[in-house]
């Protein structure tokens, strides 16, 4: 039945392509990430089956007049890259959709992505790097009765591997632009309300909880002249709490997010505060805490700076929205904290600005657990509203970008981190580190350029000091080569003092890119946008192909 559905869908798509030439648009995207894993005495031999592995994605979109359709073929053959969900195997049409869109109405059937507000209550998205694809399979209706009211209703089951969740999701969202409704001039005032219900049948009667879990979000955004602010509150009603794969208690959850900022030419400041208590929300309750990021309904990223450099990405904070009763000295039920950003430009022709101006960016963040009382034997707790518990993470960074001439550019970057490994990773220890990165780019003309980057990480904890560097050469606008290395030279275990080197090149033409790389992958967390995937240590040759037409 399912197969027939897919085949008829493809036939339908083809017939649309053949019969509609006018007003039609066709778009195609292909991405292939493959790796041949090799034995390496330093990072460990490759002992699993299939040393050659590849993840391939072919996405086809077709629109004709007010109708649109699309599908995505995914192929994980012979097997998916290391540490992608084992549910991803073989080749299949993983996603498909068809829809109608007019000025006021947008109807979709099939798989679709969506986000309500900031995603704190609901976000369906794709991140191929992380193996995240939690698209909803079902139906969605978007309706804008006026140009200031936006309504969305949806229903479906969430994609999990190549199947869908047991749990059903019901959603409703409204965004109302009050400033346009009441002609408030240069003031922007927006109100948002969302509802998300997740219904999953359970045979468990003790503790008692409803199959349907309701969650609500209310939002208000205000901005005027150079000032802006936003406020969001999410409430998740009582739901079963999974701890170590078992339902242990029934608790409600909530989240509070406040953001304030000010920006005018030359300066920008932003302050964010967030408190989350028991905010994990999965379409399958039993998926709570799964390492493959499957069945996630809401998006709870770490609100810290996302770094660009290898050594700044060793001790990466991850948001702690979940309940954990590991042992009486390691109990978690949420997080509280915030961050401040400052961007500033020293003007041209001033002492600090020089000929081209100097741009600085400062970020500081602090996150800790919620303070409260707990009863370890009954997996119960009560959290204070505005009190800071055990510190999980803090960080301060300074970035200085300076253009010296039309040929020379440089970046200086300093980061100070305090990472509570015991609480964030639920292992042992605390890490205090300082990192300095210096980078320079030299343009040789005719598209040729050279980029050099050096980095050092100082810490007396964990694996001690690291050193690293990168050299990148662009021969022209199409061909580039790079080599980089990070080395944990002070590791107490001599056998773990490994050069994680990589060497590679790429060829780019228009929207297509081909890249080849050989080297060692450091084991640990690979994080994109605040969501992380664990990657094991490995050595190999990898190829990446990206094409869009």
Partner 1 sequence: MKQLLLTITIFSFISVFSQKQLPNIMLKTLDGKSVKIQDKTSKNKITVLSFWATWCAPCINELDEISDVYEDWTEETNVDFIAISIDDSRTQKRINPLINGKGWEFNILIDKNQELKRALNISIIPHIIILKNNKILYRHTGYSPGFEEQLYEKIKQYSK
The footprint of partner 1 on residues 75-104 (CB under 8 A) is 75, 77, 91, 101
Between 70 and 253, name the residue whose CB sits nearer to partner 1.
70
Six token digits for residue 474? 């662009």
Q: Report 363-392 residues binding partner 1 (CB under 8 A).
A: none
In Å, how far are 77, 133, 316, 357, 426 from 130, measured between CA atoms? 17, 9, 15, 38, 21
Between 54 and 241, name the residue whose CB sits nearer to partner 1.
54
Taking the complex as a whole, how short is the minimal distance between the CB of residue 396 and partner 1, in angstroms? 16
Cα end-to-end span (Å), the chain: 32
Stretch that binds partner 1, among 297-305, 367-375, 419-427, 485-493 (CB under 8 A): 297-305
Q: Report 338-357 residues binding partner 1 (CB under 8 A).
A: 341-345, 356-357
Taking the complex as a whole, how short is the minimal distance between the CB of residue 494 and partner 1, in angstroms? 34
The CA distance from 58 to 132, in Å, is: 16
Q: Report 431-450 residues binding partner 1 (CB under 8 A).
A: 441, 443, 445-449
Q: Which of 157, 199, 248, 403 binds partner 1 (CB under 8 A)?
A: 403
Whether the CB-CB separation of 183 and 189 falls below 8 Å is answered with: no
Between 77 and 398, name the residue whose CB sits nearer to partner 1.
77
Q: Does 548 bind partner 1 (CB under 8 A)?
A: yes
Between 285 and 451, name the residue whose CB sits nearer to partner 1.
451
CA atoms within 13 A of residue 51's CA, in its CB half-sphere: 12
Q: Report the DSSP beta bridge partners of residue 198.
A: 169, 213
Q: What is the 3-state secondary structure (H, E, C) of 317-365?
A: CCCCCCCEEEECCEEECEEEEEEEEEEEEECCCECCCECCCEEEEEEEE
The CA distance from 469 to 453, in Å, is: 5
Q: Does 216 bind partner 1 (CB under 8 A)?
A: no
The CA distance from 81 to 462, in Å, is: 29
Q: Does 274 bind partner 1 (CB under 8 A)?
A: no
Q: What is the per-residue binding string for partner 1 in 254-273, x denoting contact by CB under 8 A?
A: -----x-xxxxxxxxxx-x-
Q: Report 525-544 residues binding partner 1 (CB under 8 A).
A: 529-530
Taking the complex as a whole, how short is the minimal distance between the CB of residue 215 and partner 1, in angstroms? 16
Stretch that binds partner 1, among 43-51, 367-375, 454-462, 473-481 (CB under 8 A): 473-481
The CA distance from 448 to 450, in Å, is: 7
Q: Report the DSSP beta bridge partners of residue 126.
A: 133
Q: Which of 302, 311, 314, 323 binds partner 1 (CB under 8 A)?
A: 302
């Amino acid at each position: 039945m399912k197969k027939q559905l897919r085949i008829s869908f493809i036939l339908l798509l083809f017939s649309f392509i053949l019969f509609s030439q006018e007003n039609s648009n066709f778009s195609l995207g292909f991405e292939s990430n493959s790796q041949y894993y090799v034995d390496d005495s330093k990072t460990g031999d490759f002992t699993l089956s299939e040393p050659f592995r590849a993840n391939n994605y072919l996405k086809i979109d077709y629109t004709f007049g007010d109708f649109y359709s699309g599908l995505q073929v995914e192929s994980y053959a012979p097997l998916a890259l290391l540490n992608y969900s084992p549910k991803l195997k073989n080749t299949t049409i993983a996603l498909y959709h068809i829809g109608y869109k007019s000025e006021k109405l947008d109807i979709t059937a099939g798989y679709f992505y969506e986000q309500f507000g900031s995603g704190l209550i609901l976000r369906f998205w794709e991140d191929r790097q992380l193996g995240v694809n939690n698209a909803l399979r079902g139906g969605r209706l978007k309706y804008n009765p006026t140009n200031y009211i936006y309504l969305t209703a949806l229903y479906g089951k969430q994609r999990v591997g190549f199947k869908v969740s047991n749990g059903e999701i019901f959603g409703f969202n409204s965004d109302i632009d009050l400033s346009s409704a009441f002609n408030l001039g240069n003031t922007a005032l927006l109100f948002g309300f969302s509802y998300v219900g997740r219904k999953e049948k359970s045979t468990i009667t003790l503790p008692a909880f409803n199959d349907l879990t309701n969650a609500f979000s209310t939002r208000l955004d205000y901005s005027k002249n150079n000032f802006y602010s936003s406020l969001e509150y999410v409430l998740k009603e009582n739901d079963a709490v999974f701890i170590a794969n078992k339902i242990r208690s029934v608790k409600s959850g909530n989240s509070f997010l406040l953001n304030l900022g000010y920006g005018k030419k030359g300066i920008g400041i932003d302050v964010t505060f967030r408190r989350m208590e028991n905010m994990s929300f999965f379409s399958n309750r039993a998926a709570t805490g799964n390492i493959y990021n499957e069945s996630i309904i809401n998006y709870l990223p770490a609100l810290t700076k996302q770094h660009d450099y290898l050594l700044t990405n060793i001790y990466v904070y991850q948001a702690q929205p979940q309940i954990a009763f590991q042992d009486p000295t390691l109990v978690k039920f949420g997080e509280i904290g915030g961050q401040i950003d400052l961007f500033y430009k020293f003007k041209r022709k001033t002492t600090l600005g020089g000929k081209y101006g100097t741009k600085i960016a400062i970020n500081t963040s602090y996150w800790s657990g919620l303070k409260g009382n707990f009863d370890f034997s009954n997996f119960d707790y009560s959290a204070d509203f505005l009190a800071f518990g055990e510190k999980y993470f803090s960080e301060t960074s300074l970035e200085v970008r300076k253009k010296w001439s039309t040929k020379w550019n440089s970046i200086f970057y300093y980061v100070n981190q305090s990472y509570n490994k015991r609480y964030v990773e639920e292992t042992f220890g605390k890490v205090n580190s300082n990192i300095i990165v210096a980078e320079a780019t030299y343009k040789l003309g005719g598209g040729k350029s050279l980029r050099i980057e050096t980095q050092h990480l100082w810490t007396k904890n964990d694996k001690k000091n690291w050193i690293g560097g990168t050299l990148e050469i662009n021969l022209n606008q199409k061909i580039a080569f790079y080599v980089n290395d990070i080395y944990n030279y002070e590791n107490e275990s001599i056998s773990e003092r490994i050069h994680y080197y990589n060497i590679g090149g790429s060829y780019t033409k228009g929207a297509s890119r081909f890249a080849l790389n050989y080297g060692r992958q450091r084991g640990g967390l690979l994080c994109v946008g605040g969501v992380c995937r664990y990657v094991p240590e490995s050595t190999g040759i990898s190829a990446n192909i990206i094409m869009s037409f």
